[in-house]
Amino acid sequence: MLQPPLNQLTSKINSKYLIATTAAKRAREIDEKTESALLTKYISEKPVGKALEEIADGEVFPDELFLKTY
């Protein structure tokens, strides 16, 4: 089961493509710099799950570059 649910993610970012690219970019940042955590507690142990949790909590948004092209 996806945690957080997709409807919770799409309420923050309305494009599934933007969710995927934003989560992938943030997951790479989390993987490279573990101290860059934005939340105090995560449900997921993997970087992609942590990135999705940050998006659901409104801590991470797509880059301006993505927003201009879509």
pLDDT in tens, 14-46: 899 999 999 999 999 999 998 888 999 999 999
Is residue 62 within 8 A of residue 22, CB to CB? The reply is yes
Contact partners, residue 12, CB within 8 Å, separation at least 6 = 55, 56, 58, 61
CA 39 to mean position of chain CA atoms: 12
| Residue 39 three-state SS | coil
Q: What is the pTM of this model?
A: 0.84
Assign 63 a pLDDT band (cuts: 50, 70, 90): confident
Q: Does the N-terminal peptide bond of residue 4 adopt cis geometry, omega within 30 degrees of 0?
A: yes
pLDDT at 3: 81
